[in-house]
Amino acid sequence: MTMTELESYGMDKKAQINNVNRGIMLVGVLLVFGIFVFVDLMLLNGSWGSWISPTPVVSLFGLIFGFIILHWQLQEQHLNMIEANRVQAQDSLRVDIYKEIATRIESADPHFSTLVVLPSIFMIELRHRMSQAVPRESQHSLASIQQDLKGSQDAIITLMKSLESYEIAMPEFVIFREQFGKMLRDLIPALSEWSLKSSLLASPKYNAIEWPPNLETVSQFEALSTNIVAIGHDLSGLTMDLRVAAQNYLLGKVFPNRQVRPRQPGDPNVVVTTIPEASG
Q: 18-24: which pairs have CB atoms within 8 A and are 24 or more residues apart?
A: 18/75, 18/79, 22/72
Cβ distance 95 to 251 under 8 Å? yes
Q: What is the dihedral of CA 182, 193, 121, 232, to 10 degrees?
A: 0
Q: Does 16 or 228 have the greater pLDDT score?
A: 228
| Closest C-alpha to 142, from 102, 178, 196 | 196
* End-to-end Cα, the chain, rounded Å: 11
Does residue 45 register a pLDDT over 70? Answer: no
Confidence of residue 134 (pLDDT cuts 50, 70, 90): confident
Helices (H), 141-214: 142-165, 174-202
What does the alpha-carbon distance between residue 126 and residue 218 come to, in Å, rounded to a whole number?
9
Q: How confident is the model at residue 93 (pLDDT cuts 50, 70, 90)?
A: confident
Half-sphere exposure of 183 (CA within 13 A, CB side): 29
Q: Say whether 265 sits in a helix, a strand or coil.
A: coil
pLDDT at 143: 82
State the helix-helix crossing angle for 215-251 and 142-165, rounded to 10 degrees: 30
Name the residue with higher pLDDT: 51 or 259.
259
pLDDT in tens, 213-246: 888 888 999 999 999 999 999 999 999 999 999 9
Q: Where are the alpha helices (DSSP H) in the chain?
A: 3-38, 48-52, 56-130, 142-165, 174-202, 215-251
Q: How far apart are CA 194 and CA 246, in angstroms?
A: 33
The pTM of the full predicted model, rounded to 2 decimals, is 0.70
Residue 9: pLDDT over 50: no
